[in-house]
Structures are given as C-alpha cells and as structure tokens.
Amino acid sequence: MESLQINEAQLFDLRCSLDCTISSDKRRQHILRVEKCAVELGRIFLPREIIKLQVAALLHDITKELPFEEQIRIAEEYGVPFSENERMCPKIFHARTAALIIPRKYPQFADPDIISAVAKHTTGDVSFSTFEKIIFLADFMEEGRTYEICRAVREDFFEHLPRDEDDLPDYLDQTVLKVLDATILILVREKSYIAEQTFHCRNHLLVKTSI
C-alpha cells in the first residue's frame, strides 16, 4: 500500500463528518482532544507526519459506539475474526474493526501508518512505530482524561521533555511503558482480562529502555 497525500480540506471534511458518525458528544470531544494531543506530540517526534497523525486520531474510535456483537460480525466479515482470548476483552474490538473498515469507508485515508496506528491504539504491540506510539499516547493523555494517572503522565511528559533530540526516542518509549504499566494496573484493579499484546509490548519496552 502506498503512502497517501492528504490535504487540509480532506482533514476538515473528516472532522465535520464526526457529527454524523459519532452520536455521543462526549466521544466526539474526546476524539478532537486526541487529535490536538497527536499534533502536540507530532510536533516533537514526527513533524512531517502531523496531518496523517490528525487523521489517525480522528478515525481511531469510529466503531467504538457499535455493539460488541456487531464488531464481532465485522471482524468475521473481513476475515479477521477475534480469537477466544481476544473475545475476553471486548473493549479492544473497536481498534481492529475501525482499522478494517478504513480502506472501504475512507479509501482517501487508507494509509498503512494510519491503519496500523488505529489497529494498535488500545493494546500496544511489540512492533510499535513512533507513529503508532503517538496515537496510543494521545488517546491516554489527552487533556480531558479524568484519571489522575492520565493527568500525571501528561504533566510529567511535557515537564521533563529532553532538550537533546537524541534522547527523544528513549523518552517516548519510557512514556509508553509508563502508560502500559498504568493500564495494566487499572485492568488488574477492575479484574479485567488483559490482552496479551499489552503484556508483550510492556515487557519489550521494559527491556529496551533498561539497556
């Protein structure tokens, strides 16, 4: 799949279309704040990819309002059914189903970075690119998140941002690791099933950042 050129007008239209595709005002506002945070992070880590990051942010929750049964049906229709393990954590369904429908419903945004960032935004992945990490972090630390840990991660992130560009990749990994640890703790407290990709990504970054 070739990388697409996306212009400001397409981005504007996508933002406006949220009014029709997302019924919850709370979720629309969350999506717009994720977009804003993705821009903030993009300026630091991927300044040439900001428009694509905005599109990924705007699309990351497009199927979140669908019932779980409908999401199971979509995954089956596209030939990527959820495994027995995955069915134990339905909160992650929307990441796969959103990624699956992008090429058909939003062909103008069917870029591999956008699709994979949407697909991995709830769990993380051992092969987590900078682009994907930005969407993952933006979803967690957008300024409307009410969890104390989300606010703390956000404040800490901007307060201790390294001045040396060479330190930025490790700083990004450390922040993603912090978010994965926090997410795992929250899921344990809720007695929720934890997706194996989350553990694998967490352990991978733990080793990577300690070298």
Complex with Fe ion: residue 11 or 59, whichever CB lies closer: 59
User: Does residue 174 sit in helix, strand or coil?
Assistant: helix
Specify the amino acid at residue 198.
T
Residue 12, token pair as written in the block? 């504007």
| Count of alpha carbons within 13 angstroms of residue 3, beta-carbon side | 6
Complex with Fe ion: residue 113 or 139, whichever CB lies closer: 139
Report the nearest approach of Fe ion to the CB of residue 211 (Å): 31
- Angstrom CA distances, 62 to 46, 71, 99, 146, 159, stand at 24, 12, 9, 21, 32
Q: Which stretch binds Fe ion (CB under 5 A): 55-63, 107-115, 163-171, 176-184?
A: 55-63
Complex with Fe ion: residue 65 or 160, whichever CB lies closer: 65
- By CB under 5 A, name the one of 35, 49, 61, 113 that touches Fe ion: 61
Report the nearest approach of Fe ion to the CB of residue 141 (Å): 11
Give the integer Cα–Cα distance in Å for 102 and 110: 6
Which parts of the chain fold into alpha helices (H)? 8-21, 25-45, 50-59, 68-77, 93-105, 112-120, 130-141, 148-159, 168-189, 196-210
Give the integer Cα–Cα distance in Å for 115 and 206: 26
Give the integer Cα–Cα distance in Å for 107 and 145: 31
Q: Which stretch binds Fe ion (CB under 5 A): 18-26, 60-68, 144-152, 192-200?
A: 60-68
Site for Fe ion in 124-143 (CB under 5 A): 139
Report the nearest approach of Fe ion to the CB of residue 104 (Å): 21
Specify the amino acid at residue 35.
E
Residue 86 in contact with Fe ion, rule: CB under 5 A: no
Report the nearest approach of Fe ion to the CB of residue 110 (Å): 20
Report the nearest approach of Fe ion to the CB of residue 31 (Å): 7
Asked whether the CA dihedral 76, 79, 84, 86 is positive or negative, the reply is negative
Q: Which stretch binds Fe ion (CB under 5 A): 47-55, 58-66, 92-100, 106-114?
A: 58-66
Report the nearest approach of Fe ion to the CB of residue 34 (Å): 6
Site for Fe ion in 162-191 (CB under 5 A): none
Complex with Fe ion: residue 31 or 74, whichever CB lies closer: 31
Positions touching Fe ion (CB under 5 A) are 61, 139
